[in-house]
């Protein structure tokens, strides 16, 4: 079973051996051969995810990610779009390839992409903005190993905002968002996080200093005892010690 047959229609093995790849093709290439740009995007995703995993603590290695890999998008035909993601047709090829890889590598596990509806966008002109906003706060981009999105969010919503619509959005934001208050709150949070980190660093440094002092004392003690001779008759030493102890007992 090849990886391109894990989900959806099965790819003939002969085509697969010739280089056909379901998840790495150019729509303009009838032979389905890998497209250089797509290959670069997949490699970039792998590199970023590897860097993220390398930063995990040892006790986190076998645990689910605190923030799972994700992808956010908008669609006016929800069920149809979700089904395309599920069947790997006209979907995000990096996300699809990742899911297919899991199914091929871990057939006994139930790995798969879960789907959720997060928000109903009330106005047409908010489609692109909403997708950009949610992708940003959800860390859905390939960069830093956060998600599967490799193109700028909002581009595929087919929404071109007019100057008036942008001005309306700006006015709404200015009327309802306390930008200065948010900025102060953000920097206050950063200061608190920095203070906590500084305290943790000082605690670690204190622990290291204590260990260094202990090691120095041990080295000094061992040095005071002096080196032992290269050749020692331990049996003779034990005999003399035993005789000494017995002599003390007799006295």
Of the pLDDT bands very low, low, confident and very high (cuts 50, 70, 90), residue 248 is: low
Nearest C-alpha neighbor of 98 from the set 70, 78, 59, 60: 70
Mark whether 154 and 209 lie in a shared domain: no
* Number of structural domains the chain divides into: 2
- Residue 108: both structure tokens together: 């006994």
- Residue 200: both structure tokens together: 């943790």
Of the pLDDT bands very low, low, confident and very high (cuts 50, 70, 90), residue 71 is: very high
pLDDT tens profile 91-112: 888 998 899 888 888 888 888 8
Mean pLDDT of 136-162: 83
pLDDT of residue 1: 59
Burial of 16 from C-beta contacts in 10 A (0-12 / 13-18 / 19+): middle
Of the pLDDT bands very low, low, confident and very high (cuts 50, 70, 90), residue 163 is: confident
pLDDT of residue 27: 55
Alpha carbon distance, N-terminus to C-terminus of the chain: 89
Helices (DSSP H) in 106-178: which residue ranges? 127-137, 163-176
Mean pLDDT of 116-136: 86
**Domain finish residue from 117, 144, 177:** 177
In sequence order, the 6+-apart residues with CB closer than 8 A to the CB of 75 are 81, 82
Mark whether 18 and 125 lie in a shared domain: yes
Q: Is residue 138 part of a domain?
A: yes
pLDDT tens profile 43-63: 999 999 999 999 988 888 888
Q: Between helices 93-105 and 36-54, what is the axis angle to 10°? A: 60
Mark whether 109 and 188 lie in a shared domain: no
Mark whether 50 and 160 lie in a shared domain: yes
pLDDT tens profile 184-199: 888 888 889 889 989 9
Mark whether 144 and 189 lie in a shared domain: no
Q: Is residue 237 part of a domain?
A: no
Mark whether 130 and 203 lie in a shared domain: no
Mark whether 158 and 60 lie in a shared domain: yes
Mark whether 167 and 210 lie in a shared domain: no
pLDDT of residue 190: 87
With the C-alpha atoms ordered 155, 158, 160, 165, is the resulting torsion angle positive or negative? negative
Mark whether 134 and 195 lie in a shared domain: no
Helices (DSSP H) in the chain: which residue ranges? 13-17, 36-54, 78-87, 93-105, 127-137, 163-176, 179-225, 234-250
Mark whether 37 and 88 lie in a shared domain: yes
Mark whether 80 and 138 lie in a shared domain: yes
Of the pLDDT bands very low, low, confident and very high (cuts 50, 70, 90), residue 36 is: confident
Nearest C-alpha neighbor of 16 from the set 37, 35, 36, 31: 31
pLDDT of residue 160: 61
Of the pLDDT bands very low, low, confident and very high (cuts 50, 70, 90), residue 242 is: low
């Amino acid at each position: 079973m090849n990886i391109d047959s894990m989900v959806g229609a099965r790819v003939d093995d002969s085509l697969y051996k010739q280089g056909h790849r379901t998840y790495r093709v150019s729509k303009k290439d009838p032979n389905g051969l890998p497209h250089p740009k797509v290959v670069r995007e997949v490699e970039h995703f792998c590199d970023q995810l590897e860097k993220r995993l390398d930063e995990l603590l040892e006790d986190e290695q076998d645990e689910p990610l605190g923030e799972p890999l994700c992808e956010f998008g908008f669609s006016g035909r929800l069920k149809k779009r979700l089904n395309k993601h599920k069947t790997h047709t006209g979907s995000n090829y990096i996300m699809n390839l990742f899911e297919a890889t899991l199914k091929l590598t871990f057939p006994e596990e139930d790995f798969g992409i879960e789907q959720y509806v997060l928000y109903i966008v009330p106005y047409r002109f908010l489609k692109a903005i909403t997708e950009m906003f949610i992708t940003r706060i959800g860390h859905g981009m390939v960069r830093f190993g956060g998600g599967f999105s490799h193109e700028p969010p909002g581009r595929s919503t087919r929404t071109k905002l007019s100057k008036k619509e942008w001005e309306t959005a700006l006015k709404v934001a200015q009327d309802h968002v306390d930008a200065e208050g948010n900025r102060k709150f953000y920097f206050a949070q950063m200061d608190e996080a920095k203070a906590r980190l500084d305290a943790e660093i000082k605690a670690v440094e204190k622990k290291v200093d204590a260990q260094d002092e202990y090691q120095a004392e041990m080295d000094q003690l061992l040095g005071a005892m002096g080196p032992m001779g290269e050749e020692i008759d331990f049996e003779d030493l034990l005999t003399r010690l035993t005789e000494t102890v017995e002599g003390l007992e007799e006295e």
